[in-house]
Structure 1
């Protein structure tokens, strides 16, 4: 049509642009659903993103920890602006992830079990870390979304912020919940290493932060 309306060169250029845009859209959809298609939850992707962003800016990150009695903590991020317990979930690329009245909905259904479990896990982690550190430590739960269709991002529902990995990291760096000095960041990280065991261990490792 462009070639008929203008000239052959313009038609070829527009055809290349349309083909490129179509390829890019299909690649984005394929990339966004890759974690879900492989039956994963997104921890590996989030780990890579954290190592190349916040860790290079002085944040400390503990990977694959367990909050005894409450389940896994995929990543525990400790930085000048606070402490965040990051949970990862992958949904079908067509799943609609939204919030109404302050509550989370996936394809129109509430997710009470997911949000209640994550909130309880963060509270329990805060209690254990505070006990070891001997100072009050607040742990904020957040959820990294892999795949799915988010109506708006980032958004807060049921007291938890939801966003894709990069936008979630940007949100954490721009929305501090505390004001920790570098020494306090290290002290909290050491306390977290002692308070939260790796994987399925029953006893926390005695080593320092390098055990993360």
Structure 2
């Protein structure tokens, strides 16, 4: 067992070194260089990478008529609330869409994926033709450790390796969380969960 742990640690150390070298090769500001904030996530890092959220998740008072388990996203506040019932919710800090990319509406979770792959939509490729056409899931992927898909839209709640963007308006319409927070939320919700997005 001790040898297995040592081998696992060695493998992770090698991967971390490769990820660091790759970040340097792409300008040191995430996988896509200095303009990485145009995409939906961050640069190379490990699960939970990049550090803790600057907005720690916490249980707060939340008076509403929403059923327990509902996700309520307030883009103006840059917060996501998971309704717990009894006048309470679990509050997370999120990154939201830049001006011109924010939206509102009600959807349901239609899919959940661990270490999701990413295919940039046509609209994003028109703005950033330098982006790859597809990226397999993993530590370099801009969707981070988990992705929660919203209805038939192109938008997701997903992880990010750039915790400094939490609380900011930086994305192309998706909602980003730290890998730690999105993993926590991922484990608490299921397909079919209602997601209400407010501006």
Q: Given the two structures, how large is their TM-score scaled by the length of structure 2?
A: 0.29
Q: Which of the two has higher C-alpha Rg?
A: 1
| TM score, norm. by length of structure 1 | 0.27
The one of the two structures with greater contact order (alpha-carbon pairs below 8 A, sep at least 6) is: 2
